Amino acid sequence: MNRSPSDITGHVPLRARWSIKGPAPREYIDAVNYPPLVARLLYNRGIAIGQVQSFIDPDLQREEDLFGLPDAATAVQRINQALLRGETIGVFGDFDVDGVTATVVIREALTWLGAKTIPYIPNRFTQGHGLHASGVGWLRDHGATLVITCDCGISDLAEADKAASLGVDLIVTDHHVPLARLPKAVAVVNAKRSDNRYPYTEFAGVGIAYKLMQALYHGRRDYSRLEALLELVALGSVADMVALTGENRRFVQKGLRVLNGTGRPGLRALIRISGLTPGSITSADIAWALGPRINSSGRIDDAAMSLRLLETTSLEEGERLAAELDAINSQRQQLTAEVYERVAAEVAVQAGRPLLFAADESYPEGVIGLVAGKVSKEYYRPAFVITIDDDLCRGSSRSIPEFDLARALEQCSDLLVSFGGHPMAAGFAVTRENLPVLEECLVKLASRELDGLELRPRLDIDAEVQLKTLGGKSYQLTRLLEPFGQENPEPVFLSRGVEVIECRSIRNHEKWTSLRLRQGGVVCDAVDFRTLRGPDDIPRLIDVVYNLRLRRWSGEDVLQAHILDLVPSTIH
């Protein structure tokens, strides 16, 4: 039987605060020349009047100076030198979707220019995140004199020093926040450097890799060839949950076009085995279907499998690798659920603390980040989950907007062997001896920074509407805002006084429900995977918050509400 978190720990999920955003000003509606509901959605996302058309159609964005990125010109010069000399170039990528896609982007772009490249993806379980001297040494031993990192390296100062001592030139491409000192390298290409002149900074690692390849191809006749790689940029950007604003939005929108007609045998097989339909793949499909499968090999086995899937030209190998990744992903899901139960039981006694911390020898490193994310969401607290080893403990953390993980780990850096990440997600390594001191340090930081705050999730609602206002053309116009993702969320609506005319469990899952809703003569299908209420716990008259999506039923497209929250209605 599937159990909800409250079944496991006795903890009742925190009810979200509903925050209903106001309407767009009349002058905004008049200026953007879209219906009031669409104008409201644009206004809620902070899209200025002068940016609306380029937001709707990212092809209208102007091309920025590629060499505004720090060290881009130096990196291009060194790569061109390697091309002229016939040097072997090592490409050192991280083992998640972002790192793997960035590795393929750089390898393919360089190969088209005649370069010989060698990839290296570290093993999560024996090496962990980031640049490793052993990997650089392996690349050097296989002929590489230049190594380009992908999605890693910015905080690996000792490893960069070691690479230099090995006689290897290093180019770092990364999107994580730099430390006070940059790694020793020929070039460090990172839009978050303090001396960055590029106007957009929120790229994923694959986005930085692509920008560097754009700079390399600048002025070449085959510059447009790079657009074929945007499907990889879309995969890595969505999976890494970077903001889908500005240039990222353009990358993902154009990348989805490529992905929907992809010629990569491995991706075509993965799309098919994921139950997706070529031609209708969205950013949500990357986030919930393709990304987790590509990520699964690095979490359970070896990320080199995902690298081969993306690079293979063999139909047979593509089918085999897609099937293996699908099976590994199922294993990953089961393992995550099992570990979550153990972690949830451990943190249940910490519910009064501002920060949750769980460490044990039995927690598999490959899923601790996923488990930390579930714990953080459930309790609305920063959550740290650590796997303990004899000497070195590896941890993963997920946070809430009120607490910056990257800054917190930097303040505890004297206790850490290594660390890196973002404000909302970070990883680290710590000795077993320092583990309890680290917990104490982090709890003190969280107590200071979160003191006096109401720690409860907020559910931002775009508009309160009647069901009848969202049909047909209105719904289609809201899809102008796609692709949805971080900082451009799917529209959220609230309808009050909605009657529940049917309600039943889905696939014998006690806490998932299928509903039929009625308001003012309009009937709408709905599903509820979020509130964890059984059919007997859902009132007959509700105020309901939801996204609206199309689903295919008997050959027709039908609107379906995906419920985010609901309460008994006071409207009669």
In percent, how much of the chain has pLDDT > 70? 97
Model confidence at 13: pLDDT above 80:
no
Residue/partner pairs of 250-255 with CB below 8 Å, 24 or more apart: 250/58, 250/59, 250/61, 251/207, 251/210, 252/283, 252/483, 252/485, 253/58, 253/482, 253/483, 254/58, 254/59, 254/227, 254/230, 255/230, 255/231
pLDDT tens-digit map of 374-427: 999 989 999 999 999 888 999 999 999 999 999 999 999 999 998 887 889 999
Model confidence at 279: pLDDT above 60:
yes
Tokens for 73?
């010109």
Please report the pLDDT score of residue 6 as a whole number. 41
**Is 205 in contact with 94 (CB distance < 8 Å)?**
yes
Domains of the chain: 10-50+458-568 (2.40.50.460), 66-227 (3.90.1640.30), 351-450 (3.10.310.30)
pLDDT band of residue 572 (cuts 50, 70, 90) is low
pLDDT band of residue 9 (cuts 50, 70, 90) is very low
208: nearest Cα among 235, 179, 182, 237 = 237
pLDDT tens-digit map of 448-465: 999 989 888 999 999 999
pLDDT band of residue 61 (cuts 50, 70, 90) is confident
Model-level pTM greater than 0.75? Answer: yes
pLDDT tens-digit map of 488-514: 999 999 999 999 999 999 877 777 899
pLDDT tens-digit map of 168-179: 999 999 999 898
Please report the pLDDT score of residue 197 as a whole number. 95
